[in-house]
Structure 1
Amino acid sequence: MDSIISHLQAITRALPSPIADLGVSILGPDCYSLLIHDLAFLQQAPPYPEPLTICLKFAISKAIGLAIVGASSIIKLPQLIKLLRSKSAAGVSVVGTMLEAASYLIMFAYAARLSFPFSTYGEQSFLFIQDILVAVLLLIYSAQTLLAVGILLPAVAAASYYLLLASPGPSLATLQTLQAATIPLGLFSKLPQIVTILREKSTGQLSAVSVFAYFFGSLARVFTTLQEVDDNIILLGVGLGAVLNFVLVVLMIMYWNAKPVADSKKKD
């Protein structure tokens, strides 16, 4: 075993500078030295010394966080494809989608202003963009194209510019207030979708893949927030999101393949 570890150490200690620098930037110099340079977790049996335990938890959190960010770039793709194929907005709440998009934009702007690690919030940018695309399709398939193109998109562009690019932009106090507002906003973004499902007794064009992926992603985000972000407002927000996503998972299972009430009445 020692010879194997020695060979592995020879590889990790000879990594090209760009790769090593990236590792240091993600893990920090101390944890990089323990985990990558020295492979300390292979040389010691659990229970590990406290510094190594901390670094392992931190590395797991980073890996999960980066996986969430990567997966979030396509997490709404099944929903978008389902809408494009069906050309129907049935079962999907446009109000809930737009409220969710607003929440993601605010959380992204707040975390970026406080320079939190990108792995702890980067998915919010991708989810925001995808929510806007979903909202546009929902409006178009609800015969409200003018509202989508003439009002929604300009409003989104203006809000994005003000929160992310304007100089001077909103003060930190303003962002903190907006961040706190994302907690009830997150609640209200999910309620219309929950009400829509309960009213229609069907999930309509809501994508099961996206719902389940959202739920497991939100659970993972609670873990990474606990590990890397010392902010109770953010923790409360992601915790509430996980609970509401669980409710949607339960409803998705309850009304799996159920036809909307309106369709059932038409057949009768």
Structure 2
Amino acid sequence: MTEALRPILKYFLSEDCIDTYLVDHDFTDGACFKSLLSKCLGYAIIAGSILVKIPQVLKLLKNKSGEGINLISVLLDLTAITSHMSYNYVKGYPFSAWGDNTFLALQTAAIGALVLFYGGSRALSLIFCLIYGLVVYILNSGLTPINVLLVAQAFNIPILLLGKLSQAWTNYKNSSTGQLSAATVFLLFAGSLARIFTSTQETGDFMIIATFCASTFANGVIVAQMIYYWNKPGKGKKPKAGKAAAKPVAASKKTKSKKID
């Protein structure tokens, strides 16, 4: 029975930890527990990433508008995600440590294409998709030297901060988070926070850990804005008709009462 579990456990544990659990029956080993927790978190993040930006995509499709979404922010975010994915892939790090970037890249590219499409640039939307596909191939096919990917990974921190904070600035100017999806924003924050732990456990790569620290901070800013602007009308938006109509009615009642007096 224990031997039958080995092939499955290899996705979660090293051979030493498998022996620790199955042979020595030592379930108190701290290092193995951290490794197992990291793997489980990693796979959970990957599973969540399959749908993390789908609410945002659906919101764009439903409203047929990219209002409030900063295209520069989306493109910078896509750049950071893609370079991070390619760097991890070429370095040979475990899929559980970076696999979510694959799905995030696809969904972010879709958001960028939709913003262009609903912004009136349909041809540009198609060109964008084609160019992005070509870039991904070049980065992951071995055509790009690892040193170039390392430099790209180093630039991820300022790119992430610039991208996320430019969206935060757009939110601030509009006094609204526009078409941003709350589900997507909160899931991105939770995912980047968890990735600090998994990256520490599975890669030990300082550059990657620092990137997720920066990402968590930037996502946290947008989460704070999402909460702050939750029920507040944005600039240029009128209050609900019911509230506006209440004042004239009240005023007319006062006028009538004066006439009766």
TM score, norm. by length of structure 2: 0.87
1:141 corresponds in structure 2 to 118
CA shift for structure 1 position 257: 3.1
- Are 2:37 and 1:60 equivalent residues in the alignment? yes
1:26 corresponds in structure 2 to 12
Rg larger in structure: 2
Secondary structure of the structure 1 residue equivalent to 2:12: helix
* Contact map agreement 1:202 1:257 (CA 8 A) in 2: no
Deviations 1:21-68 (A, max 9, x none): 131243111112223555422xxxxxx4xxx11000110011001100
Of 172, 176, 180, the residue aligned with 1:198 is: 172
The 1:91/1:35 distance shift into structure 2, 3 A limit, reads farther
* Contact map agreement 1:203 1:258 (CA 8 A) in 2: no
- Are 2:112 and 1:132 equivalent residues in the alignment? no
CA distance, structure 2, for counterparts of residue 186 and residue 56 of structure 1? 32
- Are 2:136 and 1:160 equivalent residues in the alignment? yes
1:239 corresponds in structure 2 to 213
CA distance, structure 1, for counterparts of residue 177 and residue 23 of structure 2? 50
CA distance, structure 2, for counterparts of residue 33 and residue 260 of structure 1? 59
Long gaps (5+) in structure 1: 1-10, 42-47
The 1:147/1:172 distance shift into structure 2, 3 A limit, reads same
* Contact map agreement 2:12 2:40 (CA 8 A) in 1: no
Deviations 1:217-247 (A, max 9, x none): 1110001111121211111111000011111
CA distance, structure 1, for counterparts of residue 62 and residue 116 of structure 2? 15
1:79 corresponds in structure 2 to 56
CA shift for structure 1 position 185: 0.9
2:153 corresponds in structure 1 to 179
CA distance, structure 1, for counterparts of residue 49 and residue 58 of structure 2? 15
Identity %: 32
1:44 corresponds in structure 2 to none
CA shift for structure 1 position 216: 0.8
CA distance, structure 2, for counterparts of residue 262 and residue 32 of structure 1? 61
Deviations 1:2-22 (A, max 9, x none): xxxxxxxxx5x163xxx5313
Deviations 1:160-183 (A, max 9, x none): 111012x5x111111111111111
Long gaps (5+) in structure 2: 245-261
- The letter for the 1-side match of 2:15 is P
CA shift for structure 1 position 264: 3.5
Moved more, 25-34 or 182-191: 25-34
The 1:37/1:217 distance shift into structure 2, 3 A limit, reads farther
Secondary structure of the structure 2 residue equivalent to 1:101: helix
Poorly superposed stretches of 4+, deviation over 3 Å: 36-39
CA RMSD in angstroms, aligned pairs only: 1.8
- The letter for the 2-side match of 1:187 is L
2:69 corresponds in structure 1 to 92
- The letter for the 2-side match of 1:171 is P
Secondary structure of the structure 1 residue equivalent to 2:155: helix
CA shift for structure 1 position 147: 1.5
